[in-house]
Structure 1
Amino acid sequence: MCTDSKSCIMIPDTGPHLLEVNVDASLENEGETDDSGAESERGPKSPGVVNSVVHALSVLRFLAHAGTPYGATAIARAIGQSPSSTFNICRTLTAENFLHFDASRKVYTLGPGAIELAEAASDGERAFSRAREAMERIVSQFSVTSALWQLTGDERLVLKGIAEGRGMMRIQMTVGARIPAMSGAMGRCYAAMSDLDEKQLRKKFKAVRWQNGPDFDVYLAEVEETGKKGWAIDPGEFIRGVTTIAAPIFDTNGIIRFMLANSSFTGQLDSDDLERVGEATLKSAETMHRLIFRQG
């Protein structure tokens, strides 16, 4: 929902592939045992779950949400664990810089190790903060919405951040949204840079929830063209009414780690403008490669 007075178009939910609810489910299980072997208040241990790790995560979660320092006994009471094992967990986390111990007050707060880890996880290796200025230049030049997506190991793209203009009409996206790697313009880039054969490509192509999908033979020709140019365009086929141009961002080993995607309303830019956006997207992706992976 738009929260300001301007008109917005939100990227629609095309099913479970596009928008995914991430539930911060607790890993604690009833009946687990602590480090001393004593039965705790939780239930039976799940296969493969290491109780001491669960315990440590519970301490970190509690302090992250508490906002104020707590002693080991108070933490143990809050998370339902024994004071002795909680004290040992806190001492270990302090030694590893994940907690800070105030010796005068005998209380704990989150340490720099936990904060650095949270920042890295939330910012995709800080990629968005490093790429943002280049994205904003594209937005200013072409009045598009610029998005940085991270490629995951399960062939999904996760939206890490966006830069958008100030126009009356704009495209709105949700940070954290996930889509299949083969989707839209980014999917054409992924396919062009992969070693998938035609049979594998067809299978993955069919798994995408296109709103106005192209013929597969046309898609293959576009993938081949993408391999030559280095960037791809989706003319409102993945999301009807939204034209997207994308280019891959490689790591130092030549592996795709991120995608830069610039979107506009279909018909907003003419063919010459789209070509210029494509060239600018490719150039920016090359710049972001250096910024994100600190080369030169």
Structure 2
Amino acid sequence: MRLLQSLSRGLQTLDYLVEQAKPLRLTDIASYLGVDKSNATHILRTLVACGYATQGTDRRYAASEKMTSSQGSGPTAEAIVATRQQWQPVLKQLTRETGECSHMAVLASSQVWYVDKIDSELPLKVDHPIGSLGPLHCTALGKAFLAFGDAEAEQELKQFTPATLTDHKALATEISKSRDRGYAIDDEEFTSGIRCVAGPVFDEHGVMIAAIGVSGPTVRINDKRFEELGALVEKMCFMRE
């Protein structure tokens, strides 16, 4: 299987940080990866933002408690890789059946972290690059974690479009609807003109470890199609429990 370079380097960095007995300088990590300091900085900032690494006051980097303790609150790098490998065929099937872009994300503190995607072959498509972050309250993948996992929305709900839910009571109502229907939606709430649906991925213990979803432009996804995509994602997620 062809490994995505950005994800591969991120996981290499995590392994290196975990192996070291003391925090490392940026130059040490860049040298280990064989990349320049700019690329290493981007990787490390992403890992820090996702809660997998920390940066001390001396500007050195170390693995976070999430990586070094069994009490960590998020999935380990090994679990992310295993989940990605297990569910990538499902992402491919979703894109093949819908023609739209499919994504996988894991929970990273108070955001979702995109760890895999299958691109649509259509000229007008949605793209959330691997390694990018997204909010919980207005993305379908994020709402899936709020509905089916143990994530909690941030106190301040930032508005991205006129459709973004910025009231906690309204968001709670929508999350309840997500549980009832079996999937979460983003109806132009993060980006105008884009609709998305997403469902949960559970590990062998029944704990939500990731979310998968399908995204596409409103010119192709009308109300009927929106419901069809949601039903398909629900089927794909829960048939593999």
TM range (shorter): 0.5 to 0.7
Distance 1:195 1:60, change over 3 A: closer
Instruction: For structure 2, list consecutive stretches of 5 or more residues without a partner in the other structure.
Output: 1-9, 14-18, 36-75
Tell me how far apart the structure 1 counterparts of residues 216 and 147 of structure 2 sit (CA, whole Å): 23
Q: Is the 8 A contact 2:197 2:214 kept in 1?
A: yes
Where do 1:78-117 residues align within 5 Å?
none
Q: Secondary structure of 1:190's match?
A: helix
Question: In structure 2, do the counterparts of structure 1 residues 51 and 147 end up closer, same or farther at CA, with 3 Å as the change threshold?
Answer: closer
What is aligned with 2:130? 175
Q: Is the 8 A contact 1:123 1:129 kept in 2?
A: no
- CA, structure 1 residues 257+225, in 2 after alignment: closer, same or farther (shift >3 Å)? same
Q: Tell me, what secondary structure is at the counterpart of 1:169? A: coil
Query: Is contact 2:114-2:132 (8 Å) kept?
Result: yes
* 1:219 paired residue number: 171
The residue aligned with 1:10 is: none
Gaps of 5+ in 1: 1-21, 26-49, 67-119, 291-296
User: In the aligned structure 2, how far is the partner of 1:145 from the partner of 1:224?
Assistant: 26
Secondary structure of the residue that 1:258 maps to in structure 2? strand
Of 156, 169, 180 in structure 2, the residue corresponding to residue 206 of structure 1 is 156
Q: Which amino acid aligns with 1:192?
A: A
1:125 to 78, 81, 86: 81
Distance 1:255 1:181, change over 3 A: farther
Partner of 1:279: 231
8 A Cα contact 2:199 2:237, kept in partner:
yes
Contact 1:249/1:260 (<8 A) preserved: yes
Q: 1:123 to 1:192 in 2, by over 3 A?
A: closer
Cα RMSD of the aligned pairs, angstroms, is 3.5
1:178 aligned partner, one-letter code:
L
Match in the other structure for 1:148: 104
CA–CA distance in structure 2, aligned partners of residues 167 and 51 of structure 1: 45
Query: CA offset at residue 191 of structure 1?
Result: 2.6
Give the direction of change, closer, same or farther, for the CA distance of 1:266–1:275 in structure 2 (3 Å limit).
same
In the TM superposition, 1:223-234 aligns within 5 A as 223-234=175-186
Shift of 1:127: 2.4
Deviations 1:192-215 (A, max 9, x none): 23578xxx75xx263334323136
CA contact (8 A) 1:146 1:260 kept: yes
Alignment correspondent of 1:88: none
| Shift, 1:277, TM fit | 0.8
Number of residue pairs the alignment of both structures matches: 183
Pick the structure with greater CA Rg. Answer: 1
Cα 1:241–1:62 shift into 2, 3 Å: same
Cα offset, 1:232, TM superposition: 1.3
3-state SS of 2:131 partner? coil
Give the partner amino acid of 1:65: G
The offset of 1:247, in angstroms, is 0.7
Match for 2:216: what amino acid? Answer: S
Residue 138 of structure 1: which of 91, 94, 104 is its match? 94
Alpha-carbon contact 2:136-2:143 (below 8 Å) kept: no
SS at match of 1:126: helix
State which drifts further: 237-246 or 165-174: 165-174
Counterpart of 2:220 (choices 268, 275, 287) is 268
Q: Which amino acid aligns with 1:175?
A: I
Shift of 1:237: 1.1
Identical aligned pairs, as a percentage? Answer: 15
**20, 31, 34: which is aligned to 1:65?**
34
TM-score normalized with structure 1 length: 0.52
Match of 2:140 in 1: 185
- Contact (CA 8 Å) 1:150, 1:258: kept in 2 or not? yes
2:34 maps to amino acid:
H
After superposing the two structures, state which structure 1 stretch, 174-183 or 143-152, moved more: 174-183
Q: Normalised by the size of structure 2, how large is the TM-score?
A: 0.63
